[in-house]
Structure 1
């Protein structure tokens, strides 16, 4: 199966099979679907997992910081945090040490749930990159990081 050259791209015509933006969106959609499939049996979704993973790596994040990191609204994150706290997966300080933000941390139960979920998500990532060499995997990570940096440098809202 031959692929048309990237030169087919032009400002007035996007060739979807070679459009980097379209391919990234397609990959992100496939990745999210695969992650949801492995997280669903654990009673979780991608946002739930992302919140726990962010807290494991950066304990004490506020609702706003978690929302930004999980790509959801502050309101959605607040609803999730209330549920996670109710389920004993996170704890939030009753009073802010400074300002109004209530820092959130994982509980031991939250750490256990995250460990199970992380293993499942890691297996998805391994499956996604199984046909890549180590150099290709590292190169893809570098290219994606640079793409994000380039877009954020041009976006004052980022």
Structure 2
């Protein structure tokens, strides 16, 4: 028996969003591989570009990884000379992190790769459909964030 009504439509939408996210992640990983970047590393560099001196906890939230995974990720980026971490720990003993010039250059190339994936994803949509989809998905995200606050 197939469920009917809004419940099944909402469930199907949730599954479609998850499937789309998984394929998007795969395509981004494919495009970033030649730059020797993973999707979480890219997300971390993006977050640092938008919010310099972020802590590893902040970066973990932006990259959708655990704090422990973020610390390993940051160690790898630091060894590659892509980030610098302050010597002095801040609140909660975390060290602020900033991008190096090499990371800024790499991030520019990575953004081009990710933009190509996004363009493929939305290529069959009109500009107004893309804008509307952005608004609708933002609303869905916000509803989930609000539901977790209670």
* TM, length-normalised to structure 1: 0.87
Matches within 5 A, 1:50-65: 50-65=43-58
Q: Which runs of 4+ in 1 moved over 4 A?
A: none
Distance in structure 1 (CA, Å) of the matches to 2:33 and 2:138: 29
Q: Where in structure 1 are there 5+ consecutive unaligned residues?
A: 1-6
1:105 is aligned to 2:101:
no
Q: Residue 135 of structure 1 aligns with which residue? A: 128
Q: Residue 83 of structure 2 aligns with which residue? A: 90
Q: Indicate the SS of the match to 2:88.
A: coil
Instruction: State the structure with bigger RCO (CA 8 A, min sep 6), 1 or 2.
Output: 2
Per-residue deviation, 1:96:
2.7
1:8 is aligned to 2:1:
no
* TM, length-normalised to structure 2: 0.92
1:114 is aligned to 2:110:
no
Larger radius of gyration: 1
| Cα 1:114/1:133, change in 2 over 3 Å | same
Distance in structure 1 (CA, Å) of the matches to 2:28 and 2:130: 19
1:45 is aligned to 2:41:
no
Name the Cα RMSD after superposition.
1.9
Distance in structure 1 (CA, Å) of the matches to 2:122 and 2:86: 40
Distance in structure 1 (CA, Å) of the matches to 2:5 and 2:55: 42
The structure with the greater share of residues assigned to helix is: 2
